[in-house]
Chains A and B, each alone.
Chain A
Amino acid sequence: MAFEPVLSRNFDVPGAASIETYRRRGGYKAIEKALQMGRDGVVEQVKTAGLRGRGGAGFPAATKWSFLPPNRTTTYLCVNADESEPGTFNNRYIMELDPHLLLEGILIAGYATRTSVAYIYIRVEYHKAYRVLQKALDEAQAAGLFGEKILGSEDFSMQCYIHRGAGAYVCGEETGLLESLEGNRGWPRIKPPFPAVAGLFGKPTVVNNVETLACVVPIIERGGEWFASIGNPPTSTGPKLYTISGPVNRPGCYEAPLGLTVRDLVYGEAYGGGMLDGRTLKAVVPGGLSVGFLTAGELDCKLDFDDPRKYGLLGLGTAGAMVIDEATDMRQVLLNVARFYATESCGQCTQCREGTMWIYKIAQRIAAGAGRIEDLDLITEITATMGMMTGRSICGHSDGAAFPLRTLIAKFRGEFEDRIHSQGDVAEALAAQ
């Protein structure tokens, strides 16, 4: 059976961002169907579908919704459109090219969770996406899709607002996002309590990624079983919007079932289309920076929720692949990665704040031509102390730092050693730094 794209079905349709075109192509039928199915029916379909969050952690969506306390009066839905993980831009495609798909997903999820207000937290750099989405939201509101008694239903009223971020990676972390929405510094909160119990303004809250919510629409249209038959069931079901960038022929956003191999994503005619100008591939970061690095010998890695772990990676992440070619000096890559996590750490946890900064300083030394072989072990040792997985951090930022740094050193150690052995006068390099 040929794979039929559903998340990107409107991407090439001219004017798809308008409500008329979206409707003409069958849009806003799923919310009507959902209202007929009832709340439990919607949750049941999402559960059957096996839909797992697309924002990075892969948590099952229906399970997350089921954590909401039954006797609540207010529920918030926060749509995570902060999308700041380097290499990731599929949420942007949805919002720029098919904004009503997201809005319909919000309506269905909002209905299922008895949401009273939905906030779309969008990163400020997405100017175009913001303006296209705001227009779509205005259209949907005018059509009675948001507001009181939606589509004539007796028990479903929901408001929706777009809230712009202000340039902080950590606000993509769900509790950092909530703090930011409340007008505070985007400091992630200690969990528990989880947002489902005490989230925005202390009320039960669901945080879901843009793509996760977009997936809800085809699930209602075609049924949970259809969704569950795509990809690598039972753990990795459904279609995925992969992104690929770096020196390849066709950088962009492509839909395929979960489980696409990195090789297909980079070299497939329908995807990355191979290396640009005959360059040679050296490394791939397959899932957004935080998952870590693969070597040219590891391209059989399947991009689903399980396989990346076998390659020492954090997980699927966002399935945003970044390709690195032979000509790139891995010391510069190390410097870039180390700088990212050091400058984006919110500073609450000692291991994250100090550890990322130490590694950044060491990386600066190595890049300047004053590295020592012991530095490589030192970096590895520091990464082993960081993260929620070691029980020392409030959020996953420092796990996300540890994986790329550790895999970079471990998998490209030979190059680092060669460069350190062949570097010039260390005293001169240090003086020049």
Chain B
Amino acid sequence: MAWPVINRQEQAAVPGAEPLLSERVKARITAFFDRYETKRAALIPALHVVQDTYGGVSLQAIKEVAALLGLAPAEVYDTMSFYSHFWAGRRGRKVVVVCRSLSCQVLGHERLLAALKEHLKIGEHETTPDGEWSLMTEECLGACEHGPCMLINERLHARVTPDDVPRILADPDCDKVDLPAGASPQPEPKEKRGGV
């Protein structure tokens, strides 16, 4: 007997599950298609849009992105799981990323990390119970002259001492990128609906 043919791609979205991606997000993703020879090449740009909008890339989002790009969800996950920037689970609204590479280490990144852990009362790669903060470490952020340095979402904080931590975290704009006058606007605001 012949094996039944299963079209795995069309079953991408679980029947009955709440769709997550808004029409606007989908339009932003499909707008990438003109740029590349294949739809698949729009995958990482698409994951950026999804994560920037919803705060993470959930399983439902993976399925919907796969359907848009004509891929299997497993292919999307295969790519996504290679990159430390994408996450499937919950993270805080503000993600603190401390550089742990050599120059920052020599200048005391460990003291900075300890101060952050104490202030936020969480460990490395954890999120506060109120969903506000996550604390991560990454390899060289390419800002070694500012060591020890850290990113809070898009903003880089330079030469941070343990004493600076409470003041920086109390600033509501601590995650907004500091652009020179006239440069591009801030990132698009997050959408309220959905969740990870």
Which residues of A line the B interface, CB within 8 A?
Answer: 15, 17-18, 83-89, 91-92, 117, 123-128, 131-132, 134-135, 138, 159, 161, 163-169, 180-186, 201, 203, 243-247, 251-253, 285, 289, 320, 322-325, 328, 332-333, 336-337, 340, 343-344, 346
Contact = CB atoms under 8 A, between A and B. Distances in A.
25 contacts: A17-B182, A85-B140, A86-B139, A91-B142, A124-B48, A127-B155, A128-B178, A132-B180, A159-B35, A164-B44, A164-B45, A167-B84, A169-B139, A182-B40, A182-B41, A183-B38, A185-B79, A186-B82, A201-B36, A245-B144, A251-B146, A289-B140, A322-B144, A336-B100, A337-B102
CB-based closest 10 A-B pairs: A245-B144, A166-B83, A183-B43, A167-B85, A251-B145, A86-B140, A183-B40, A127-B154, A185-B82, A167-B84
B85 A124 contact: yes
B83 A167 contact: yes
Given A86-B139, A344-B139, A245 B83 contact: no
Interface stretch (B13-21, B103-111, B121-129): B103-111
A201 B101 contact: no
B96 interface: no
Point out which of B48, B139, B146, B147 has the most chain A C-beta atoms below 10 A from its C-beta: B139
Contact of A125 (B41, B103, B141): B141
A247 B107 contact: yes
By secondary structure, the A interface counts as mixed
B151 interface: yes
Given A131-B184, A132-B184, A186-B82, A88 B40 contact: no
Contact of A246 (B69, B103, B139): B103
Interface of B: 35-38, 40-45, 47-48, 69, 78-79, 82-86, 97, 100-103, 105-107, 138-147, 151, 154-156, 177-184
A332 B85 contact: no
A247 B144 CA distance: 11
A128 B186 CA distance: 10
A86 B102 contact: yes
B177 to A, nearest CB: 5
B35 A84 contact: no
B82 A84 contact: no
Contact of A166 (B86, B97, B181): B86
B35 A89 contact: no
A87 B103 contact: yes
A244 B182 contact: no
A336 B145 CA distance: 18
A343 to B, nearest CB: 7
A126 B143 CA distance: 9
Contacts, number: 166
B184 A83 contact: no
Contacts of B156: 127-128
Q: Which of A15, A163, A340 neighbours the largest number of chain B CB atoms within 10 Å of its CB? A: A163
B86 A245 contact: no
B142 A161 contact: no
A336 B105 contact: yes
A83 B142 contact: yes
Given A166-B83, A182-B38, A183-B38, A322 B44 contact: no
Contacts of B138: 125, 167
A24 B10 CA distance: 55
A324 B83 CA distance: 30
Given A18-B182, A92-B143, A253-B145, A166 B105 contact: no
Given A165-B44, A167-B83, A324-B106, A125 B142 contact: yes
Residue among B101, B102, B144, B147 facing the most chain A CB atoms (10 A cut-off):
B102
Contacts of B106: 246-247, 322-325, 328
Contacts of A166: 44, 47-48, 83-86
A180 B44 contact: yes
A353 B11 CA distance: 36
Most interface-central of B38, B69, B178, B183 (chain A CB within 10 A): B183
A87 B40 contact: no
A115 B182 CA distance: 30
Nearest to B103: A245
Given A117-B35, A132-B179, A251-B144, 12 more contacts: A86-B101, A87-B140, A92-B142, A128-B178, A138-B184, A159-B35, A163-B44, A165-B44, A181-B41, A183-B43, A322-B103, A336-B105
A184 B83 CA distance: 10
Nearest to A244: B145
Contacts of A124: 48, 85
Contact of B177 (A18, A87, A131, A346): A131
A88 B141 CA distance: 9
